[in-house]
Amino acid sequence: MFTKKEVFSIPNLMCYFRILLVPIFVYVYFTAETGQGHLLSAFILLLSSISDFLDGYIARKYNMVTELGKLIDPVADKLTQFVVACVLMYTYPAYSFLVAIIVLKDGMLLFVGWYIYRKKAKHLAQAEMPGKIATAVFFVVSILLIAFNIPHTVIASIMIYTTLVLMILAMIYYGQGLYHLYKED
């Protein structure tokens, strides 16, 4: 199905690495008892974010885009984002709103997108700018909140609700894109 070259390409290895970082992040975050523990879990998330940027950059720059990469990169992205949001709900309860938006947006993209693809053999582009911005802000805010561990503060609330607004705007943008695809002849 996939060639050995595809399976072991550098960008795909970086995707596997990101997926492996997810349970490590969860463990380190929940066992952190000191500021150093929080910094370590923030560093793990930062490392995951950097590898996410690098795998796409390397794949495009060095013509290493693969069909396998097109499958596993979004899985690694969504898995990381969902798990981080779920984990941070315990310290920052407002993250529960982010979890709901993530589930709604990704569920819409998956199920409505699948329906439109079956009916019209068309699909949305991989990632659009509103989604990229919302995701980047989500990870920056998450890393900062983990590193500084500032629950129940005004600044944490502002950061979380700003992220929430950007995520909702991205969801609306993708919803409009799906609607236009559906309405096309």
pLDDT digits (tens, 9 = 90+) for 153-168: 999 999 999 999 999 9
pLDDT digits (tens, 9 = 90+) for 131-154: 999 999 999 999 999 999 999 999
Q: How far apart are CA 24 and CA 31, in angstroms?
A: 11
Contact 58, 11 (CB under 8 A): yes
Q: How far apart are CA 96 and CA 115, in angstroms?
A: 28
C-alpha distances (whole Å) from 146 to each of 19, 104, 132, 184 are 19, 24, 21, 44
Q: Where are the beta strands (DSSP E) in the chain?
A: none
Whole-prediction pTM: 0.93
**Could you identify the residue written with the tokens 């992205």?**
77
